[in-house]
């Protein structure tokens, strides 16, 4: 039996006030177990990115409680929230945000230096299959390889939680599946809790748990009894 790592308890996020107020999240509650590969799926405007930003400590909730293990993230002040982003959470985005005048290895090393107990940058690149590309600059890498560097950068600080926002959105289907396999392998082999935000319902086939959002609310939370390897999913 796994323990819950993440808990959202009656979380709301409201932008603006009065008749123009937008309820991006409306009393959202769910848990995600430690070591799970979780897919949060919904259409554009469902609240996925707001949820990710709050879970990642980039935004604060209007109401409710967010926990990561024994830490109450929703009670953090600005300094503690910055430490949380720095040490506890790794981020992978749709666009790779690599530093163009640094090599793949140097891009990973920069993130590793943020951690108290970093993974060796060479090891991180090995985990994503890019040992032979360590000295290449981003412009010399394919889109999939650049995304692998961004994943290596995220895991080099050994985060408790890896948050991925549309990580395959800028990639073709074949390369996208390769990236998803890397993420699934990291989850399984290193017991990293991985949360993927996506509009692509096909990704739910490879998830341990699936959270479906619509109009800022959780409409279902299910667990897969048969989880597919990333390379076998179809879309």
Least reliable range by pLDDT among 2-6, 28-32, 105-109, 198-202: 2-6
- 92-132: pLDDT as tens digits: 988 888 999 999 999 999 988 877 788 899 999 998 999 99
**Spatial CA neighbour of 28 closest among 12, 14, 44:** 12
Q: What is the pLDDT of residue 75?
A: 96
- 140-173: pLDDT as tens digits: 999 999 999 999 999 998 999 999 999 988 888 8
DSSP 144-197: HHHHHHHHHHHHTT--SEEEEESTTTTS-HHHHHHHHHHHHHHHHHH--EEEEE
Q: What is the pLDDT of residue 1?
A: 56
Domain extents for the chain?
99-158
What is the rounded CA–CA span in Å between residue 154 and residue 159?
A: 8
Helix, strand, coil percentages in the chain from 3-state DSSP, rounded to 5: 35, 30, 35
Q: Where are the alpha helices (DSSP H) in the chain?
A: 48-55, 78-87, 104-112, 121-127, 143-155, 173-190
Q: What is the pLDDT of residue 234?
A: 83
What are the φ/ψ torsions at residue 177 (nearest 5 degrees)?
Answer: -65, -35
**What is the Cα gyration radius of the chain?**
17
pTM equals 0.92
What is the rounded CA–CA span in Å between residue 185 and residue 191?
A: 9
**Spatial CA neighbour of 21 closest among 10, 13, 30, 29:** 13
Over range 3-27, report the average pLDDT. 94
- DSSP 3-state assignment of 217? strand
């Amino acid at each position: 039996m796994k323990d819950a790592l993440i808990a959202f308890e009656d979380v709301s996020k409201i932008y603006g006030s009065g008749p123009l107020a937008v309820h991006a999240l409306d009393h959202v509650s769910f848990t995600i177990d430690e070591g799970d590969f979780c897919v949060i799926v919904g259409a554009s405007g469902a609240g996925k990115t707001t949820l990710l930003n709050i879970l990642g400590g980039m935004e604060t909730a209007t109401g409710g409680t967010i926990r990561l293990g024994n830490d109450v993230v929703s009670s953090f002040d600005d300094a503690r929230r910055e430490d949380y982003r720095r040490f506890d959470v790794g981020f992978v985005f749709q666009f790779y945000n690599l530093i163009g005048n640094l090599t793949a290895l140097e891009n990973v090393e920069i993130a590793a230096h943020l951690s108290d107990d970093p993974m060796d940058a060479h090891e991180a690149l090995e985990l994503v299959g890019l040992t032979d590309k360590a000295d290449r600059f981003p412009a010399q890498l394919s889109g999939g390889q650049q995304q692998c560097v961004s994943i290596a950068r995220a895991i080099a600080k050994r985060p408790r939680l890896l948050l991925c926002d549309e990580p395959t959105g800028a990639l073709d289907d074949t390369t996208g599946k390769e990236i998803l396999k890397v993420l699934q392998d990291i989850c399984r082999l290193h017991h990293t809790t991985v949360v993927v935000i996506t509009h692509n319902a096909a990704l739910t086939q490879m998830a341990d748990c699936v959270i479906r959002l619509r109009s800022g609310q959780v409409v279902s939370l299910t667990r897969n009894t048969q989880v597919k390897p990333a390379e076998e999913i179809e879309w």
